[in-house]
Amino acid sequence: MTKDQHNYENLSLLKGGEKDYPDSPDVATLEAFPNRHPDREYWVTFNCPEFTALCPITKQPDFGHITIEYVPDKMCLESKSLKLYLFSFRSHGTFHEEVVNKILDDMVGAIKPKKARVTGEFNPRGGITIKVVAEL
């Protein structure tokens, strides 16, 4: 395969018109495509300023801003599958610390980046904001 050819057959969510959101990150799928510049170290950043998850105790929604940064190795994360994956937390009960670490673990499992960082900045609850950063 030449550098100009694309290998996107495994991107089922992007070309499938997927609109059904998974209800848990455990059943969501992170898809990837080949990095066309593996010889270059560069950062990719995704921002999700409208992230929502549920408090595992009260079941009330928690809102925050998730930032995902990584240096790809052989694979890159496909953004629509990431969107559906992040949406899956909307009906999932979890603590902020768990959210950030799960996102990092799942991303690393999917693409095995050279470097990665996930930051969660969560809106105040009871007058306290929480910022969680997990790195590879």
Considering the candidates 62, 76, 105, 106, report the single residue annotated as catalytic.
62
The string of DSSP letters for 46-70 reads: EEEEEEEEE-TTT--EEEEEEEEEE
What backbone phi and psi angles, to 5 degrees, belong to 76? -120, 150
Considering the candidates 55, 73, 76, 105, report the single residue annotated as catalytic.
55
**DSSP code for 74:** S
Domain at 31-135: CATH architecture: 2-Layer Sandwich (3.30)
Cα angle value 127/63/85 (rounded, 5°): 155
Averaged pLDDT in 10-residue chunks for the chain of 136 residues: 57 60 87 96 97 93 97 97 95 94 97 98 92 96
**Residue 76 designated active-site:** no
**Residue 55 designated active-site:** yes
pTM: predicted TM-score of the whole model, two decimal places: 0.85
Is there a contact between 82 and 46 (Cβ–Cβ < 8 Å)? Answer: yes
pLDDT of residue 1: 47
